[in-house]
Amino acid sequence: MELASCSFGQSSKVSYLQMITAVAAIVNGGRLMQPYVVQRITAPDGTVLREVEPTVKRQVIQEETSATMCDLIEAVITDGTGQKAAVPGYRVGGKSGTSQKLDSDNEGARISSFVAVAPLDQPRLAVLVCLDEPHSWTTSGGTLSGPVCAEVLKKALPYLGIEPQVESAGQSDS
């Protein structure tokens, strides 16, 4: 049974950092980047003490495959289970996830997740929200975690200086 469920990730265990790194590679032209947590350390006077430069580890998928995946994850937002993760003015891509907890005695225990990337034409921000055993009528990642991703993107994108663009087809103010 585990071999069959492995085909859709049900029995796989990866860290959240591994998951977001894989998603970033998918939308980054297929380039797997070395993850880091802190980009820059500055002194109180503003002097940069240390700065990490983005580093490409290797090419993991072809650029054409990356472009196709970007179209597919945008469709998750415009037409699929991630509509609640849409952010007006931005092209957002995403993927919902609902998984059974393998280490729980409760057979009904689930993790509800959603990952969102924006702006999709030049990705700058990836957000992963995982809710561990949510107490809700649903455990759907798009329904529960998607709106949290949207809120983070709504606040973080302007903070990063990324202004909203003309609405793309299907991603409106709704």
Question: For 13-172, where are the E strands, in sequence order?
Answer: 31-33, 40-42, 48-51, 56-59, 93-100, 110-118, 125-132
Provide the 3-class DSSP secondary structure of residue 26: helix
Percent of the chain scoring above 70 in pLDDT: 88
Within a domain: 77: yes
Residue 21 has pLDDT above 90, yes or no: yes
Within a domain: 7: no
Q: How far apart are CA 67 and CA 43, in angstroms?
A: 40
Residue 174: predicted pLDDT: 42
Q: What is the mean pLDDT of residues 27-56?
A: 94
List the CATH number of the domain containing 140: 3.40.710.10
Q: How many domains does the chain have?
A: 1
What DSSP designation does 90 have? S
Q: How far apart are CA 99 and CA 9, in angstroms?
A: 9
Within a domain: 164: no
Average pLDDT, the chain: 87
Q: How far apart are CA 105 and CA 57, in angstroms?
A: 39
Enclosing domain of residue 28: 14-159
Within a domain: 171: no
pLDDT band (50, 70, 90) for residue 73 = very high
pTM attached to this predicted model: 0.82
Residue 172: predicted pLDDT: 46
Q: Are 74 and 86 in contact (CB under 8 A)?
A: no
Residue 28 has pLDDT above 50, yes or no: yes
Within a domain: 169: no
pLDDT band (50, 70, 90) for residue 54 = very high
What digits encode the pLDDT tens for the residues 92-128?
Answer: 999 998 887 777 788 777 888 999 999 999 999 999 9
Percent of the chain scoring above 90 in pLDDT: 65
51, β-bridge pairs: 40
Within a domain: 134: yes
The residue type at 6 = C
Within a domain: 4: no
**Of residues 33 and 6, which shows the higher confidence score?**
33
Within a domain: 63: yes
